[in-house]
Amino acid sequence: MIFDRILSHGKKEREVVEDIKSHIHLLCFACDTFRKSLEKGDRNLMWEVIELEREADSVRREVISHIYEGAFLPYLRPDLCKFVEIVDEVFDLLKETAFYCVENEVPEPLRDESIRVALLNFRMCEMLVISFEAMLKGEDLREKILAVRIFEKKIDDIKLSLVKDVEHVPIENFWAGKALSDFLTGLTMISDIIEDASDHLQIINVSTR
Amino acid sequence: MKIHEFMTKKIEFIDSNKSVYDAVEQMVDRRIRSVVVRFAGKETDYGVLTSRDIVFRVLAKGINPKKIKVAEIASKPIACIDKDTDFEDAATTMEKANIARLFVCDQGKVIGLISLLDVMAAELVLKARGNHDI
Amino acid sequence: MWKILSGVFLGWSLGANDSANIFGTGVTTGIVRYRTAIWLTAAFVMLGALVEGPKCMKVMGELSRILPMEAFYCALAAALTMTALTFLAIPASTSQAIIGAVIGAGVLSGSADFSKLYKVVACWVFTPICGIAAGYLLHQALGYAIDRTVKSFTRRNLLYSAGILVAGCYGAYTLGSNNVANVTGVYVGSGTMTPEMAALIGGLSIATGVLTYSRRVMMTIGKGIVPLDPFSALVVVLAEALTLHFFTQIGVPVSSSQAVVGALVGVGFVGDVQTVSFKMLKRISIGWIMTPVAGGVLAYFLIKLLT
């Protein structure tokens, strides 16, 4: 086992790293597709987001099985798996939020701010990719983590105004209201989970130094 | 990344004939440092009233804020930039005019606000992104 | 030739107990498989014993003049001391047990040379001290070097894997080279065997102990040791190996367990962490005194009553 790892010059590790990279890139793409769909009002794009979640699920399974087939030192494996699981949570939330948009129109008073949140979510994913690559190179992640937090704070501010604006949106019945509320909650919680993922990268980074 | 990604969209407006006291109430309640002053009949004619204006030009002088109208101390015209301006240009504009905030305008209409803090935050993010092409 | 059996038994128990110092962390954290660890340890212990084992054998003959039968009882006394103290969960050093026994035999025959004993005791005292210094300095120096040169996440992972393997092999080599004298050195002192033959038989007995009975000790975390990150684990083994190798050149067999404890404390100083509990340190101090005394007393009475 240990001989395999050394003699293969870290081939398994490189595979895992590439898999995780594609997982996060997929997330970026999904967030961007989500934003475009909101801007254009294109429901087909929303279906694409849902499909991407399924693809991400299978990438996640690949990563975890490669890790436990012997990539990386045992003390690192749970942290790496946890990171992948957190990114997967973002996908799940994105999918649920997308489901709302497939069935419903986002009310006009909330549309602009929702698109802004979607754009900022995409920016956060980009930062996550940058942070992961920086971690691989052994760079300090503080700046990048701070950038993620700045975006998350911006979304928090928008969330406050969304919460106020939604009070003026006419609702047909309790379930329509609940669905809209869940949509807004989901849309604004995506950034919280991306922030968790970025914090976790810092944990992994620090544990190897 | 452009200005419109970092701007605040929630702008508070106040009519020019309201008293400074009304402005104080609004600003304290909303926890904001400036309001855009709307002049009657003129849709794209704006002024701005900041907390500095209120404190330095009214309260510090012992003037009763209920007795003075917003229009009397608001600054006109407001400093505007386009939504696709980049941050360095925004910072330069702020420095030249010695102001702490810029309004983001689209065809004469105010659509957002960018403050010194927003410019600093954007600088941090741009530095963190580096030359990365995602 | 049956007289060497007690030495073989001593070697076997040394192999079973001390191999945990080498690959213990590696195995319990899953970095190295148990089977890989024991075969590597056995192979490198043999190599160390054959190549540099004879260096420490002279000291046994210098401490007392021992007859072949007395050599048997000395090794037996040491083995019984080790067994009893292990049973009482007091960390015991084979070096201290056998040398205590040899002195006990020397006291009985009147041939004990206490002037040579001072050198040996000084080395015992310096073993954990060297371990502390080596652990601390290696952690700082190696840490600094790696931070500057190996920044890549995957490369570092590879480095730690390879490092633990190399350090373990070196640790096994130095265990063989330094401690084989504990096992069969008495027979060289009594003229029963040549140093080369003693090294071979001693090495084989230690290797057998590693292969057959080391699992229990290796899997126990109850050594009072704080779980270490891979880098610190690597440094501890390397520091212990360097300490042992150093004393091999001086020609005195010392305790690998005490070298490991020293290295752990040294590494702990870097992060200002208490890596060894006070309870463990207390037990080690008790062992320090009890082991040579018990070995000496037991050897004295075994020889007096049975010869």
- C154–A138 CB contact, under 8 Å: no
**Number of domains chain B contains:** 1
A195 burial (CB, 10 Å; 0-12 / 13-18 / 19+) is buried
pLDDT computed for residue C1 by the predictor: 77
CB contact under 8 A, B6 and A154: yes
Tokens of B101: 């905030």
Is A127 near chain B, with CB under 8 Å? yes
Which of B21-25, B78-82, C128-132 has the least mean pLDDT? B78-82
- Report the chain C residue with the minimal C-alpha distance to residue A12: C154
The CATH code of the domain that includes B73 is 3.10.580.10
Report yes or no: B34 and B47 within 8 Å, Cβ to Cβ: no
ipTM for the assembly: 0.80
Residues B20-37: pLDDT tens digits?
999 999 999 888 899 999
Which residues contact residue C302 at a Cβ distance below 8 angstroms, ignoring those fewer than 6 apart?
C73, C76, C77
For residue B121, give the amino acid letter: A
Q: Among partner residues A25, A144, A157, which is closest to B128 by beta-carbon distance? A: A144
Q: Tokens for C199? A: 């090294």
Smallest CA–CA distance, residue C29 to chain A, in Å, is: 7
Tell me how far CA of residue C217 lies from CA of C76, C91, C210, C221, C281, in angstroms: 22, 12, 10, 8, 18
Residue B134 forms part of a structural domain: no
Tell me the pLDDT of chain B averaged across its residues: 89
Task: Give the count of Cβ contacts less than 8 A between chain A and B.
Answer: 45
Assigned token pair, C116: 């040579």
Contacts of B121 in chain A (CB under 8 A): 150, 154
**Could you tell me which residues are beta bridge partners of residue C276?**
C225
Residues of A in contact with B8 (CB under 8 A): 157
Q: Nearest chain C residue to A76 by CA: give it.
A: C157
The answer, for C162 touching chain A at a CB cutoff of 8 Å, is: yes
The helix/strand/coil state of B12 is coil
pLDDT band at C289, cuts 50/70/90? confident
A120 CB within 8 Å of a chain B CB: yes
Q: Output the pLDDT for position C244.
A: 96
Nearest Cα residue in chain A from C164: A2
- B6 to chain A: closest CA residue: A154
Residue B7 counted as domain residue: yes
Query: What residues are paired with B105 via a beta bridge?
Result: B82, B110
Length of chain B: 134
- Which of C156, C158, C230 is opposite residue A6, by nearest beta carbon? C158
Q: Confirm if B112 and B4 have CB atoms less than 8 A apart.
A: yes
Nearest CA in chain B to A164: B10
The tokens for C278 are 């006070």
3 state SS of C150: coil
Establish, for the pair of chains A and C, how many residue pairs have beta carbons separated by less than 8 Å.
61
Q: Is C154 on the interface with A (CB under 8 A)?
A: yes
CB contact under 8 A, A137 and C155: no
Asked if residue B54 lies in contact with residue B107, where contact means CB atoms within 8 angstroms, the answer is no
Are A2 and C229 in contact (CB < 8 Å)? no
Of A1-10, C44-53, C217-226, the poorest mean pLDDT is in C217-226
What's the rounded mean pLDDT across residues C199-220?
89
A30 confidence band (pLDDT: 50, 70, 90): very high
B133 in contact with A, Cβ within 8 Å: no
- How high is the pLDDT of residue C225? 57
Q: C220 pLDDT band (50/70/90 cuts)?
A: low
Cβ distance A150 to B132 less than 8 Å, yes or no, reads no
Q: What is the pLDDT of residue A2?
A: 72
Q: What chain A residue is nearest to B124 in terms of C-alpha separation?
A: A147
Q: What is the pLDDT of residues C56-70, one digit of tens each?
A: 988 877 887 788 888
Q: Do A154 and B130 touch (CB under 8 A)?
A: no
What confidence score (pLDDT) does residue C298 get? 93
Q: Which range among A64-73, C104-113, C146-155, C270-279 shows the weakest confidence by mean pLDDT?
A: C270-279
Can you say whether the dihedral through the CA atoms of B18, B20, B22, B23 is positive or negative?
Answer: positive
Confidence of residue C117 (pLDDT cuts 50, 70, 90): confident
Burial of C48 (0-12, 13-18, 19+ CB in 10 A): buried
Nearest-CB residue to B10 (from A127, A133, A161): A161
For the cut 50, the answer to whether the pLDDT of residue C222 exceeds it is: no
- Kindly report the nearest CA distance between residue A86 and chain C, in angstroms: 20
* Cβ pair A161:B9 closer than 8 A: yes
DSSP string, C66-132: --HHHHHHHHHHHHHHHHHHHHTT----HHHHHHHHHHHHHHHHT---HHHHHHHHHHHHHHHHHHH
Domain covering A2-207: architecture:
Up-down Bundle (1.20)
Judged by a CB distance cut-off of 8 A, whether residue B124 touches chain A is yes
Return all residues near C32 (Cβ < 8 A) that are at least 6 apart: A1, A2, C23, C26, C164, C165, C168
Average pLDDT over residues A82-102: 96
Q: Measure C158 CA to nearest chain A CA, in Å.
A: 6
DSSP string, chain A: -HHHHHHTTTHHHHHHHHHHHHHHHHHHHHHHHHHHHHHHT-HHHHHHHHHHHHHHHHHHHHHHHHHHTT-S-TTTHHHHHHHHHHHHHHHHHHHHHHHHHHHSPPPHHHHHHHHHHHHHHHHHHHHHHHHHHHHHTT---HHHHHHHHHHHHHHHHHHHHHHHHHTTS--SSHHHHHHHHHHHHHHHHHHHHHHHHHHHHHHHHHHT-
* CB neighbour burial string for A124-153, b if at least 16 within 10 angstroms, e if fewer: bbbbbbbbbbbbbebeebebbbbbbbbbbe
Residue type for C253, please?
Answer: P
Interface with chain A: mutation pick from B3, B123, B125, highest number of A CBs within 10 Å: B125
Higher pLDDT, C225 or A209: A209
Judged against a pLDDT cut of 70, whether residue A186 lies above it is answered with: yes
Find the residue in C nearest to A10 (Cα). C158
pLDDT given at position A158: 93
Domain edges within chain A = 2-207
Nearest one of A126, A121, A148 to A202, comparing CA atoms:
A148
Mean pLDDT of B110-132: 89
Residue-number span of the structural domain to which B20 is assigned:
3-129
Q: Chain B contacts of A133, Cβ < 8 Å?
A: 132
**From A165-179, B5-19, C174-188, C219-233, the region with the lowest mean pLDDT:** C219-233
Mutation target to probe the A interface, by most A beta carbons within 10 A, among C148, C154, C156, C159 is: C154
Instruction: Look at A6 and C29 and tell me if their CB atoms are within 8 Å.
Output: no
B75 within some domain: yes
Read off the pLDDT of residues C228-267 as tens digits, 9 standing for 90 and up: 788 988 999 999 999 999 999 999 999 998 899 899 889 8
Backbone dihedral angles phi then psi of residue C273, each to the nearest 5 degrees: -115, 140
Q: What is the mean pLDDT of residues A154-181?
A: 93
Least confident of B32-41, C23-32, C180-189: C23-32
Q: Are A74 and C29 inside 8 Å of each other by CB?
A: yes
Rounded to two decimals, the pTM is 0.84
C21 pLDDT exceeds 70?
yes
Q: Is residue B118 part of a domain?
A: yes
Whether the pLDDT of residue B41 is over 80: the answer is no
CB spacing of A17 vs C32 below 8 angstroms: no
- From B30, which residue of chain A is nearest by alpha-carbon distance? A161
Residues A2, C33: C-beta atoms closer than 8 Å: yes
Candidates B124, B127, B134; nearest CB to A28: B134
* C226, pLDDT greater than 80: no
Side chain identity, residue C134: A
Please report, for chain C, the start and end positions of each structural domain, with discontinuous segments joined by +.
2-306
Whether residues A2 and C147 touch (CB distance < 8 A) is answered with no
Chains in touch with A (≥3 Cβ pairs < 8 A) = B, C
Q: Are B and A close enough to touch, i.e. 3+ CB pairs under 8 angstroms? A: yes
